Structure 1
């Protein structure tokens, strides 16, 4: 793994920091602190013996420095003190973001209108199963992704990147996207027209619909100027499961994989272009916007 990849992998950095500070904390508790205690006891014994001799010679000895001497010897070195104080905090953050909830920031407009650029979201890390941090290997099954879920996953072409899209197809599904309308396993998805969506950044309007994806209703956008066909899809693994034409495409989702699409349908590079998402790439289920510094009204659940 390159240095750039390591620096870009916050989970790995957090894991290394947890292990490093944990080792220092453990060594201090069970080794270094005992050495300091032994050294302090020896120094105090010498201190007491010296003062006892002075008193025997009739000299009044000042014992006020005894506690100061002990405190100086028992004091942790700065590097141990900082490591020991940071360890529980780092370990707690590592546990929370590895097994419970992880924050992400939305960097693109591919999920508009559900999620917009600048949304800070929370991702549930356990709803799809417990996975070992860093290597992302599932060790406990809990639930499988369902159609309509908004899911964060490792980008199949570059697993160092995290992507977020909506689950459109689960293993075994036959997905057809024809003239910008979805059909799942031969059943046409229902659409309800909504008022046009205004993109305030580019001052343009898009057609907005409520899409009922087998019981999960959410909003999507269509750009009437964009073609219905997929332009230049990659030769992704198992691309033979997909057929493309001028009206759209049809794909059959293989076992252990998922078909993902952005809600901003004509402005999203997704499974139409780079293929299926394997189960081992799943990060978790996105479910809550906890902050958007440009618009605090965005805070809330979007499922």
Structure 2
């Protein structure tokens, strides 16, 4: 409810600004000046008077789409009053209500004669150019509507979900899978996630230019939530520990498998995953993978390894007359095949022992903990192979707060549920009141990569709040080997490669979240959509031509 109340306030503020800066122009158009203050109807009148589709007015106050459409409507209005030069258009876009107010209160502003009989050739060409630009603008708006309100493309840049999702897979994410999360930063550049660009400059990444206006914000709200995330779903969510973006819907998107839902108990024993004291259920599209250390009597044939298995060892260390290799993400089958190589002396799975705490530091003096690369919670004494048991918080749970449990719950209390939190000499204060317990306000989830030994997941960044969940990947629309890493090495066969990338045709247009080993390809649906998209305009022109001949 807070979302819609805040949204209404923004709409009313914009409508008042619109009315103050254009009421005289509406009067000159033959309408009551009060109509300039009425949301949606003010833009309906502009579209009617400028001979554009009147239903476009419905888009005028939508998050992200609205600011684009408003700028377009403002340009239409200014052109109606003869303000069509480049400087007029520029001022209308960057200072809309200020520039329109100068035109509104100017004494010599009149409606421009738009009779085509009196247009010069130059003016007619300008009209054609405006029509073309209008088509481009609306195409961008339509794509933005799909991107913001329906589905969002997402690329896989790392190998944390390898075997299930490969590096270079491009997915479409269904934003309605678990209810639609309404946009929280309504003024933003379309298609950009958090920043306009990575400047690459040394210093704080917070200084990189943002793709959204931070000051204009709406609270979290999810609508039409008919289902909750289920165990074993592949889920796209916003990284919960993002320190660059205060708006959670602008944090970096991650994709992992949901291994434990709110109320479950999660545990790793010798690198094997357990939920509620039971071994995980391995689906058909998953392959259990582990890290191995291999001792060899001589150097391995790396190009041959790449051509046979499609991957390389992550580490090669000379060791006397032989070598030590570290392999990551090996299935049982692949590990058995590597073990048979004649150079291999011995091979063992690399499992971190109990009691070996995985804490990373940002300085040589080991005084500043790197929470991004340290196991959660910091005081647990766990590592990624020996983890838990950890109970996943559920909405309504009352948890005990003390020196031992605080590292587990402090992010929830302070960052995710927006309370003040202080620890004064062992006494804990929430919102200024001393307490030894806290009631959880939303459900949390445990997200872990299928490639367990090469995944920065919930074992490091902790619980994922429900509000951070974006949706469920639907299908892979493109798969490019080499899209996110250097694949130009001599280990690759040249055949089939293009600009260092290779299309994996067998993965395209296959559903993502079925859990089946052999997924169905829906390429024929994609082909049909493309035929309809590119053939519709031609068909309509041909149909119109025949009607004229009759």
TM-score, normalised on structure 1? 0.69
Q: Which runs of 5+ in 1 are unaligned?
A: 1-14, 45-65, 210-222
Q: Which runs of 5+ in 2 are unaligned?
A: 1-62, 84-109, 186-218, 243-247, 291-307, 314-326, 334-347, 361-370, 395-442, 481-501, 514-550
- Provide Cα deviations, 1:137-159, integer angstroms capped at 9, x if missing partner: 33312321111111111111115
Distance 1:178 1:291 in 2: 36
Higher relative contact order (CA 8 A, sep 6+): 1
Q: Which aligned pairs between 1:1-303 and structure 2 lie closer than 5 A?
A: 18-30=65-77, 32-33=79-80, 38-40=111-113, 67=117, 69=119, 84-135=134-185, 137-140=220-223, 141-158=225-242, 160-190=251-281, 200-202=310-312, 206-208=330-332, 224-227=349-352, 231-232=358-359, 234=371, 239=377, 244=382, 247-255=386-394, 256-293=443-480, 294=502, 295-299=504-508, 300-303=510-513
1:285 is paired with a residue whose SS is strand
Aligned length: 253
Distance 2:74 2:133 in 1: 11
Distance 2:148 2:454 in 1: 31
Which has a greater percent of strand?
Answer: 1
- Provide Cα deviations, 1:85-125, integer angstroms capped at 9, x if missing partner: 33322221122112211111100000011011111111111
Distance 1:73 1:151 in 2: 53
Is this contact kept in 2: 1:171–1:258, CA < 8 A? yes
Is this contact kept in 1: 2:265–2:391, CA < 8 A? yes
Is this contact kept in 1: 2:358–2:381, CA < 8 A? no
Is this contact kept in 2: 1:176–1:182, CA < 8 A? yes
For residue 191 of structure 1, report the CA deviation from its aligned partner. Answer: 5.7
Distance 2:154 2:474 in 1: 11
1:292 is paired with a residue whose SS is strand
- Provide Cα deviations, 1:20-43, integer angstroms capped at 9, x if missing partner: 4312321344553365894326xx
- Provide Cα deviations, 1:222-275, integer angstroms capped at 9, x if missing partner: x92242666227499993896737733221111221101000011111111111
TM-score, normalised on structure 2? 0.40
What is the aligned-residue RMSD (CA, Å)?
3.9
Distance 1:115 1:267 in 2: 13
